[in-house]
Amino acid sequence: MSALAPQPFPVLLQRFFVQRLIQQQHVTSCTVAAYRDSFRLLLGFAHRRLQKRPSDLSLEDLNASFILDFLEHLEVDRHNSIRSRNARLAAIRSFMEYVSFEEPSALALAQSVLAIPMKRFEQPLVGFLSREHMEAVLAAPDGHTWTGQRDRVMLATLYNTGTRVSELINMRVSDLTLEPTAWVRIRGKGRKERSVPLWASTAQELKRWLRQYPRASEEPLFPGRSGAPLTRIGFTERLKLAVKAAAQQYPELAKRRIFPHMVRHSVAMHMLQSGVDITVIALWLGHESPVTTHRYIEADLEMKDRALKALQAPSCAPVRYRPKDDVLRFLQGL
């Protein structure tokens, strides 16, 4: 390859992952995995559409028209949500931004792809569980089995801390401090860490759990049967089992789609209903900005109803017109 020849697409893609993402930006493994999955889908689509293997693709193949077709394929054929579509586009735009600096000859192509906008979507109301439903789910796992004991203490920790699932399953034994004050260190998105205190009841369950099944400090706090950290899918399945058991007491739970992040929503709503300041909730949940936390206010109809009752309705009494005295005297003289 001559000095003026453009760099091939496979070389640029490999350098994007190895040099830009891992070495220069030092992104998390979760980000690398998300970008990898996006390009797996893109390369598979290119193979079917263009009849080219990934090693044979060129940058010119990934023009704006092709990327738009790929995004439509995600929504129409794969039935991905707009959020997922935008996440895939974000990975592609990040690569094209890298290309615009590394390969100036492809600048026009990169700019045309970077001009593809993110698609807007409706922001649904935040779903959450009531205190009664949440307590039923927490008590649902069978405490007589190893998995049931783990699920009980795991769900109790999730509700206490309001963590994301990725944060929960990556907790290590060393992240836990039980004496003299109980708290847990949480490694959040973007390598941001925060500390969250634990209720006495949660601390007691964790002490009992570690006493019955002791592990080294660097081992996962909530492992699977193999001893490795529980996966997202594994946690979701355990939550579904708990909800199914709780539905025997509250049949309405069986009609709802309850996912792991809804527990996090429920923690925020219950704190908000208890009068906790929204900025404290944002710190508790690890939100980068309290603006994210404001979504929970929109969902709380009980708070809105209390505000409506506190605000008196305007008087509906008819207003009587009182003419001035000189007008009255004029009318009387007629």
Active site residues: 164, 189, 261, 264, 287, 296
H/E run at residue 267:
helix 260-273
Q: How far is CA 62 from the centre of its chain?
A: 30
Across the beta sheet with 193-197, the strand order is: 176-177, 183-187, 193-197
What single DSSP character describes residue 177? E
List of residues 6+ apart from 249 with CB closer than 8 A = 136
Beta bridge partners of 177: 183
Cα dist. 102→11, 16, 92, 113, 191 in Å?
11, 10, 15, 16, 28
C-alpha 312/C-alpha 57 separation (Å) is: 68
| Residues constituting the chain | 334
Q: How far is CA 290 from the centre of its chain?
A: 15
